[in-house]
Amino acid sequence: MDVSEIIIAGDTPGIEWRLPVFRFKGRTAAAPKTYIQAALHANELPGTALAHFLLQRLQQAEKDGAILGDITVVPQANPIGAAQSHFGELQGRFDLGSRTNFNRDSPLIALGDRDRLIDDLDRYSATDRLKRQLLHMALGADLMLDLHCDDEALQYAYIDDAFWPEAGDLASALDMEAVFLSDGESSAFEEAVAYAWKYETGQKKTRLPGRLSVTVELRGTRDVYPELARKDAEGVFRFLVARGVVTGDEETIAPFAGIVAPLDNIEMIRAPEAGAILFHRDIGESVKAGDLLATILTRPGLADGALEVRAPQDGLIVTRVSTRLARRRSDLMKIACAAPSSAVRKPGSLEA
Ligand SMILES: [Zn+2]
């Protein structure tokens, strides 16, 4: 295992960021190359815990001569975000300096322009340098896992439909309960990787066999426990075996049995007005159209001081917010459904 650091100059004197990178050299040039990063949203640590245990497992595999394809792991992809403690609260999702989401505004380039990502980095802010360095590493791979988590959530993933249904092996190996099929119209890290592959040649590709770029949502922000992290690391390892990146016990991965829903079929349940949130239903529950999901105490103590929020259609509750104070129109839940939502969705990602 080779451990190195990428050093990124800060935007002010005296600051520099260090990004540890772990690399394993594969024995077989033809085997898929893999890139795995965690905590690009710096407050999302389940993936960091996964990476810790996966690195141990990979070191053993290396000793056994079992690593076939090159593997790069970045367990904490965002030192800039991790340092943003604002009045005692970690702000790991948005760069405070530019107000941009660390997982949006990734450069959208064709694969052939990969090396230009890190040309003349002095022209860019620290956050943009970080995004470019990470994307540069990811575009050296065939398989890219970007490990995130939601607020309160089941295990699920965003997968571009160019990779489906082949990516069912990852979903099954990681025991996911849902897959959200995305349409490649955002600048999230995972989409930037897929974009580079789609536009590798003049003709846009709609299928990308042998490749995978995915945002894995490893449950909720508080789901950081040794047992879960070990289980998830084992799941990723099984996926790597299945894809021929490492040799291991040849167990077949069962077909994915969870819900597969295009983004149009995700009901984003929003608060109609501000108030305290009383949830009646939890993640993992199946609901019917009209079921009471939450009561919002808009004017506590008054006869008409509570509003009911009901399910627009049947579905599985995949995520729920952890805050108990709603702002008007703030998200409460994501429900994966069999039919498209009647709410208008902007192209791209579900959330800012
Ligand atoms: Zn995230």
Which 3-state string (H, E, C) describes 138-176? HCCCCEEEEEEEECEECEEEEEEHHHCCCCHHHHHHCCC
Task: Give me the pLDDT at residue 346, please.
Answer: 77
The pLDDT value given to residue 266 = 97
Alpha carbon of 102 to ligand 1 centroid (Å)? 9
The arithmetic mean of pLDDT across residues 301-330, rounded, is 97
How far is Cα 226 from Cα 211, in angstroms, rounded to an integer?
30
Tens digit of each residue's pLDDT (9 = 90 or more) over 183-221: 888 999 999 999 999 999 989 999 999 999 999 999 999
| C-alpha of residue 333 to centroid of ligand 1, in Å | 16
- Report CA(40)–ligand 1 centroid distance (Å): 7
CA of 301 to the centre of ligand 1 (A): 37
Average pLDDT over residues 101-126: 96
Residues in CB range of 153: below 8 A, 6 or more apart: 217, 219, 220, 283, 318, 319, 320
Taking the centre of ligand 1 as the mean of its atom positions, its distance from the CA of residue 72, in whole angstroms, is 20
Q: What's the CA-to-centroid distance between 234 and ligand 1, angstroms?
A: 21
239 close to 168: Cβ distance less than 8 angstroms? no
Query: Is residue 343 over pLDDT 80?
Result: yes
Environment class of 236 (CB within 10 Å of its CB; exposed 0-12, middle 13-18, buried 19+): buried
What is the model's pLDDT at position 242? Answer: 96
Q: How far does the centroid of ligand 1 lie from the alpha carbon of residue 218, in Å?
A: 10
CA of 93 to the centre of ligand 1 (A): 7
Query: So what's the pLDDT on residue 249?
Result: 82
Cβ(21)–Cβ(72) under 8 Å? yes
pLDDT > 80? residue 250? no
What does the alpha-carbon distance between residue 140 and residue 69 come to, in Å, rounded to a whole number? Answer: 12
Average pLDDT on 57-84 reads: 98
The pLDDT assigned to 329 comes to 96
Compute the distance from residue 306 Cα to the ligand 1 centre, in Å: 32
7-40 pLDDT tens trace? 999 999 999 999 999 999 999 999 999 999 999 9
User: Stretch 275-286: mean pLDDT, rounded?
Assistant: 98
Q: What is the pLDDT of residue 183?
A: 87
Question: Ligand 1 centroid vs 64 CA: distance in angstroms?
Answer: 34
- How far does residue 150's CA lie from ligand 1's centre (Å)? 7
Query: Ligand 1 centre and the CA of 48: distance in Å?
Result: 12
Question: How many whole angstroms separate alpha carbon 160 and alpha carbon 4?
Answer: 31
Calculate how far, in angstroms, residue 138's C-alpha sits from the geometric centre of ligand 1.
17
Could you tell me where the beta strands, DSSP code E, fall in the chain?
2-9, 16-24, 34-38, 71-74, 85-86, 89-90, 143-150, 152-153, 155-160, 178-182, 212-220, 259-262, 266-270, 275-279, 286-287, 292-297, 306-310, 315-320, 325-326, 331-337
Task: Check pLDDT > 90 for residue 252.
Answer: no
Average pLDDT over residues 52-68: 98
Q: Is 211 left (phi over 0), alpha (psi -120 to 50) or beta?
A: beta
Q: What pLDDT was estimated at residue 184?
A: 85
Ligand 1 centroid to residue 219 C-alpha, Å: 11
CA of 77 to the centre of ligand 1 (A): 12
Average pLDDT, the chain: 96
pLDDT of 352 higher than 80: no
Identify the pLDDT of residue 202: 84
Question: If pLDDT is split at 50, 70 and 90, which confidence band does 319 have?
Answer: very high
pLDDT per residue as tens digits for the range 119-145 = 999 999 999 999 999 999 999 999 999
pLDDT of residue 194: 97
